């Protein structure tokens, strides 16, 4: 398939280039994609479901003086006609002028060593049944969702950029119920870049998730109020991604003067010693890529350093609007959507404290673990964790039901009292403006917060 896709991309690229060179439009780009996915579901009652999907096509985007013309196509297209139609739409639109930040052209062919062929169905089913047998001894009921995705993605534009890459991801998502009386529940995305190898040897992780469900079944209610807390690395990473990372996506600053003000470089956003970055270049990262959907080569980007904003995430359009540098963060979930500013692998940098030292500073409070649901409203947030434990006299005590936590983003960041020395990334998915699921990673160290509202 690799040779076939390279040949097809070269064919489409030639048609695109030959057509676009004769059109009077500032900028024209082609994104093409061939995606294959498979989902296998197995539950504790023995029910199984298998769904396969293939999708192939592309999008032509033409940037004129006052508008962007887009044409989406599937299958073998009239590519020349799509390029002409996109350019026509761009030139006919009326409105404010549109500019794109200048970037160096890319010339990338990233052929992964992960292998293109999907895992044998028998091997997938055997693995899920093995995991199910394990969970039968620890839970009241379960569902295992295996998902495998592979995609060829190509890019070309009238500035000379050319890129072709292959991506492959595999996941197991367990949904587990356990306990007596009021059942506890746990769910987590396991896996990442790779084939079946990415979801093998998950027995310990599944046992831990079953244990979490049992603990939540027996847990007591949290005492509502404002408490000192420690967030575990996964929760601290998600907190930064949701509460701060999205604010640093520059399309929000384009449309909201208040966000533009509080995220402008040099503004203090967190306590001294707090730093965070986004890095699409991490080898094997769930959110990594060699070029974004505008054909920009990304680089590691420091977002916050010692509590001060240092950079915003940009597309070429937002960078030109705010007169900042394009950072290579224009991403779309597939060719059927326009790109928008998105994070990749986003993480808080570690501190120097051991987790025990952070817990030891709490006379009475809580240790919050794992990720639940959450939302932000510009400067305020509301999240839930996966589970929690009471902390008394610097010791982790009984489990409590996973509470909600809420507050002002910036007051909370200024109230960071300590940072752990952990450093890791977790597999996740992000949604924005209806585009979900976009592969991302997030992570950070444990964080000690002086006060947080729990309910």
pLDDT tens digits, one per residue of 278-337: 999 999 999 999 999 999 999 999 999 999 999 999 999 999 999 999 999 999 999 999
Residues 222-258 pLDDT 10s? 999 999 999 999 999 999 999 999 999 999 999 899 9
Residue 133 makes CB contacts below 8 A (sequence gap 6+) with none
Return the pLDDT at 427.
97
Fold for 2-218, please state it: PmbA/TldD fold (3.30.2290)
pLDDT score for 77? 83
- Token pair, residue 314, equals 């940009």
Look at residue 263 and tell me whether its pLDDT is greater than 90: yes
Q: Taking residues 77-84, report their average pLDDT.
A: 94
Distance CA 87, CA 16 (A): 12
**Mean pLDDT throughout 163-169?**
94
The pTM assigned to this predicted structure is: 0.95
* pLDDT in the model for residue 375: 82
pLDDT in tens, 391-440: 999 999 999 999 999 999 999 999 999 999 999 899 999 999 999 999 99
Domain boundaries, the chain: 2-218, 225-454
Model confidence over 109-165: pLDDT tens digits? 876 666 667 778 899 999 999 999 999 998 899 999 999 999 999 999 999 999 999
The pLDDT confidence band at residue 182, using thresholds 50, 70 and 90, is: confident
Q: Is the CB of residue 183 less than 8 Å from the CB of residue 72?
A: no
In the chain, % of residues over pLDDT 90: 88
- The answer to whether the Cα torsion of 300, 305, 310, 313 is positive or negative is positive
User: Rounded to whole angstroms, how far apart are CA atoms 209 and 325?
Assistant: 43
Query: 3-state secondary structure string, the chain?
Result: CHHHHHHHHHHHHHHHHHHHCCCCCCEEEEEEEEEEEEEEEEECCCCEEEEEEEEEEEEEEEECCCCEEEEEEECCCCHHHHHHHHHHHHHHCCCCCCCCCCCCCCEEEECCCCCCCCCCHHHHHHHHHHHHHHHHCCCCEEEEEEEEEEEEEEEEECCCCEEEEEEEEEEEEEEEEECCCCCEEEECCEEEECCHHHHCCCHHHHHHHHHHHHHHHHCECCCCEEEEEEECHHHHHHHHHHHHHCCCEHHHHHHCHHHHHHCCCCCECCCCCCCEEECCCCCCCCCCCCCCCCCCCCCCEEEEECCEECCCECCHHHHHHHCCCCCCCEECCCCCCCCEECCCEEEECCCCECHHHHHCCCCEEEEEECCCCEEEECCEEEEECCEEEEEECCEEEEEECCCEEEEEHHHHHHCEEEEECCCCCEEEEEEECCEEEEEEEEECCCEEEEEEEEC
d(CA 298, CA 277): 13
pLDDT confidence bin for 1, thresholds 50/70/90: low
């Amino acid at each position: 398939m690799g040779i076939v896709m390279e040949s097809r991309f070269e064919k489409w690229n030639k048609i695109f280039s030959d057509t676009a060179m004769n059109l009077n439009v500032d900028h024209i780009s082609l994104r093409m994609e061939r995606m294959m996915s498979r989902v296998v579901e197995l539950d504790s009652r023995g029910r199984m479901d298998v769904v396969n999907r293939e999708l192939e096509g592309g999008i032509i985007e033409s940037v004129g003086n006052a508008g962007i013309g887009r044409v989406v196509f599937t299958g073998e297209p009239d590519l020349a006609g799509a390029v002409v139609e996109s350019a026509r739409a761009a030139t006919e639109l009326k409105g404010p002028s549109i500019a794109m930040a200048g970037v160096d052209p890319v010339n990338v062919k990233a052929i992964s060593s992960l292998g293109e062929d999907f895992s044998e169905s028998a091997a997938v089913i055997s693995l899920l049944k093995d995991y199910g047998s394990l969970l039968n001894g620890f839970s009241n009921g379960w569902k295992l969702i295996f998902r495998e995705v592979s995609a060829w993605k190509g890019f070309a534009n009238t500035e000379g950029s050319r890129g072709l890459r292959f991506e492959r991801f595999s996941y197991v998502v367990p949904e587990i119920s356990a306990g007596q009386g009021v059942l506890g529940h746990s769910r987590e995305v396991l896996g990442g870049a790779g084939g079946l190898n990415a979801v093998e040897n998950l027995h310990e992780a599944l046992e831990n998730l079953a244990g979490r469900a049992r603990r939540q079944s027996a847990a007591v209610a949290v005492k509502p109020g404002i408490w000192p807390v420690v967030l575990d690395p996964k929760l601290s990473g998600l907190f930064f991604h949701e509460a701060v990372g999205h604010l640093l996506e520059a399309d929000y600053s384009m449309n909201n003067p208040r966000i533009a003000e509080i995220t402008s470089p040099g503004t203090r956003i967190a306590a001294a010693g707090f730093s965070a970055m986004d890095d699409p270049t991490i080898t094997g990262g769930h959110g990594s890529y060699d070029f974004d959907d505008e054909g920009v080569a990304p680089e590691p980007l420091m977002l916050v350093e010692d509590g001060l904003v240092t950079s915003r995430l940009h597309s070429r359009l937002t960078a030109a609007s705010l007169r900042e540098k394009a950072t290579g963060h224009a991403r779309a979930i597939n060719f059927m959507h326009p790109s928008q500013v998105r994070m990749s692998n986003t993480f808080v940098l570690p501190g120097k404290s051991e987790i025990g030292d952070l817990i030891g500073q709490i006379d009475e409070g809580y240790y919050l673990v794992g990720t639940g649901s959450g939302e932000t409203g510009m400067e305020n947030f509301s999240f839930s964790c996966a589970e929690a434990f009471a902390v008394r006299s610097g010791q982790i005590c009984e489990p409590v039901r996973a509470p909600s936590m809420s507050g002002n983003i910036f007051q909370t960041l200024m109230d960071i009292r300590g940072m752990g020395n952990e450093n890791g990334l977790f597999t996740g998915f992000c949604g924005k403006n209806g585009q979900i699921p976009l592969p991302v990673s997030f992570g950070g160290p444990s964080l000690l917060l002086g006060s947080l509202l729990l309910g």
